[in-house]
């Protein structure tokens, strides 16, 4: 059974694909904002603590679970959990690991479409002349269909452009998935990731040489931007919120808990290394985040807008920084402005697409491995589900539909999946067997202290993180606190859709295991 599954073509391709999965928009937009708002250089203390105690251990756990599942022909969590824990509930817990990434990719593809659109807009100077922050907000709002255009549209008179870019992005994703693991995902990673690094490096060099763009305002400089990002504010370290922000950032940046690493690792052979591969993908991601991501958006924003306005933009959100501030900056960067804009949004698109195909692959693997569907049939079903779930995110964006999905599928569920998997791995499957899985075929020797970290520290860290998030964020979100009453039907609609996806995959898991039980006498 396992022999019929696809395999990675090369280690280089595998590492680039998993690094591409991890490197997303968050590396270039979310990290610098989080660091700037949460203590600057001092943020790196909780950030590195979370990387060592949460990120890297979970990365190894996910790679090990994935390769273990692949041994039995399972590319997704239902089968993997069922092999790790011989209890009827295990496979249903695993259904979260198919429904979760599917809900995630439904709205992520929409955001990816925005990056593609803005790359095109930059290349043809479509937003040139939109020269104030307020107007750029209007431009983005009209493009996304959020702005009220009843009094007349200034830039986009309908949502057709955003829908069009969503379709194009979805089509590219489906095309890559349809080509399979080696010819599709791996080849994409081999092209997109080097391009991403080259584009980011070019932009970093350009930013470093910007100096003080307006000599009349000597305080607005790249140096001041780096100072804003790196000068430590130690007083914030006593705030639990800063530690939570660091842990959350590590979670999102490494793509932990969205079940995509498991699926990618399931295409490994039993003797392939997971320890060094997992560490290398983490390190590659950190390089893209801290060194490249930290050297573009915030420093350049301070250089052009000054400290106070950049602080206000950063507080407003990551997308304000990426889609409103940056287009204004590119217009002020001279004759090569369109080039810098195209590079910036193209690198965001590459970061996005290498993540979205990874998020879609668990669904593909579920249909292919468990239902024995052909790749063509699996991609048709996956693409249809992505389309059906993505469209409401586009159409009801102004009602908070996408944000609601982002909170539950892109934030909350990740922590739940990570907690479930680490408890199953370390306590049910057993840390001895688990450690043997991590170190099997390892190309590096791992410190045994990490056994204790995986068994005790990481689950405790996750329980604290989950409890704090639930108390601080989930309860207010659940109760729709501060939300417009008119948006409530749409927010409940988003929740109903996510619940329906989970129920669908739980039911499919039940069907498959009943069939298998009849066929093999196993449950």
As measured in angstroms, the least distance from the Cβ of 115 to other proteins is: 25
Sequence-separated contacts (24+) of 220-227 with Cβ below 8 Å:
220/302, 220/303, 220/304, 220/305, 220/306, 220/307, 221/302, 221/303, 222/299, 222/300, 222/302, 222/303, 224/302, 224/303, 224/307, 225/298, 225/299, 225/300, 225/301, 225/302, 225/303, 225/310, 226/295, 226/299
Give the residue with the Cβ less far from other proteins, 440 or 495: 440
257: phi then psi, degrees, rounded to nearest 5: 85, 0
The site for other proteins (CB under 8 A) is made up of 8-12, 14-15, 40-42, 44, 48, 219, 223-224, 226-228, 230-232, 268-269, 271-273, 276-277, 279-280, 283-284, 286-287, 290-291, 307, 441, 443-444
Give the residue with the Cβ less far from other proteins, 35 or 259: 35
Give the residue with the Cβ less far from other proteins, 137 or 212: 212
**CA angle 322-328-329, nearest 5°?**
85
Cβ–Cβ contacts within 10 Å for residue 168, how many? Answer: 14
As measured in angstroms, the least distance from the Cβ of 443 to other proteins is: 4
As measured in angstroms, the least distance from the Cβ of 43 to other proteins is: 9
As measured in angstroms, the least distance from the Cβ of 291 to other proteins is: 6
The Cα–Cα gap between 478 and 469 comes to 12
Give the residue with the Cβ less far from other proteins, 187 or 516: 187
Name the E strands within 399-448: none
The Cα–Cα gap between 226 and 32 comes to 10
Give the residue with the Cβ less far from other proteins, 15 or 353: 15
As measured in angstroms, the least distance from the Cβ of 143 to other proteins is: 34
Give the residue with the Cβ less far from other proteins, 40 or 352: 40
Q: Which tokens in the block code for residue 512?
A: 């498959």
DSSP assignment of 5-72 equals: S---S-HHHHHHHHHHHH--HIIIIIHHHHHHHTTGGGGHHHHHHHIIIIIHHHHHHHHHHHHHHHHT
As measured in angstroms, the least distance from the Cβ of 10 to other proteins is: 5
As measured in angstroms, the least distance from the Cβ of 294 to other proteins is: 8
As measured in angstroms, the least distance from the Cβ of 235 to other proteins is: 13
Give the residue with the Cβ less far from other proteins, 128 or 230: 230
The Cα–Cα gap between 188 and 9 comes to 13
Give the residue with the Cβ less far from other proteins, 32 or 400: 32
């Amino acid at each position: 059974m396992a022999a019929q599954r696809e395999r990675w073509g090369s280690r280089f391709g595998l590492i680039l694909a998993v690094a591409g999965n991890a490197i997303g928009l968050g590396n270039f937009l979310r990290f610098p904002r989080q660091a700037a708002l949460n203590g600057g250089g001092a943020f790196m203390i909780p950030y590195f603590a979370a990387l060592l105690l949460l990120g890297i251990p979970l990365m190894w756990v996910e790679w090990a679970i994935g390769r273990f599942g692949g041994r039995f022909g399972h590319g997704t969590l239902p089968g993997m959990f069922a092999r790790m824990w011989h209890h009827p509930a295990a496979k249903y817990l695993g259904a979260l690991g198919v429904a979760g990434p599917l809900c995630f990719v439904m709205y992520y593809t929409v955001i990816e479409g925005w990056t593609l659109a803005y790359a095109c807009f930059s290349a043809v100077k479509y937003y040139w002349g939109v020269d104030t922050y307020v107007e750029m907000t209007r431009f983005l709002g009209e493009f996304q269909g959020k702005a009220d255009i009843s009094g007349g549209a200034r830039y986009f008179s309908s949502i057709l452009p955003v829908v069009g870019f969503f379709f194009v992005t979805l089509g590219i994703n489906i095309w890559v998935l349809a080509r399979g693991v080696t010819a599709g995902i791996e080849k994409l990673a081999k092209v997109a990731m080097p391009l991403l690094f080259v584009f980011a490096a070019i932009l970093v060099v350009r930013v470093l040489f910007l100096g003080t763009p307006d000599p009349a305002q000597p305080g607005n400089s790249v140096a001041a931007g780096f100072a804003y990002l790196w000068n430590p504010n130690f007083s914030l370290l006593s705030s639990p919120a800063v530690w939570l922000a660091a842990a959350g950032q590590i979670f999102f940046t490494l793509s932990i808990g969205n079940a995509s690493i498991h699926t990618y690792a399931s295409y490994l052979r039993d003797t392939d290394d997971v320890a060094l591969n997992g560490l290398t993908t983490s390190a590659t991601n950190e390089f893209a985040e801290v060194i490249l991501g930290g050297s573009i958006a915030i420093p350049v924003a301070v250089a052009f807008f000054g400290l106070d306005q950049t602080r206000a933009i950063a507080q407003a959100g990551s997308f304000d920084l990426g889609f409103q501030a940056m287009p204004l900056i590119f217009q002020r960067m001279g004759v090569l402005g369109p080039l810098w804009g195209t590079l910036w949004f193209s690198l965001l698109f590459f970061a996005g697409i290498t993540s979205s195909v990874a998020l879609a692959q668990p669904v593909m693997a579920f249909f292919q491995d468990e239902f024995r569907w052909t790749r063509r049939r699996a991609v048709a079903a996956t693409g249809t589900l992505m389309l059906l779930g993505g469209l409401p995110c586009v159409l009801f964006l102004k009602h908070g539909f996408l944000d609601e999905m982002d909170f539950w599928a892109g934030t909350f569920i990740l922590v739940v999946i990570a907690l479930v998997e680490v408890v199953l791995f370390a306590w049910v499957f057993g840390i001895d067997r688990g450690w043997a899985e991590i170190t099997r075929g390892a190309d590096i020797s791992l410190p045994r202290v990490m056994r204790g970290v995986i068994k005790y520290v990481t689950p405790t860290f996750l329980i604290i993180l989950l409890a704090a998030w639930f108390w601080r964020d989930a309860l207010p979100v659940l109760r729709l606190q501060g939300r417009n009453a008119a948006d409530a039907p749409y927010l409940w609609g988003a929740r109903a859709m996510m619940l329906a996806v989970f129920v669908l995959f739980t039911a499919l898991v039940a069907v498959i295991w009943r069939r298998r039980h009849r066929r093999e006498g196993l449950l």
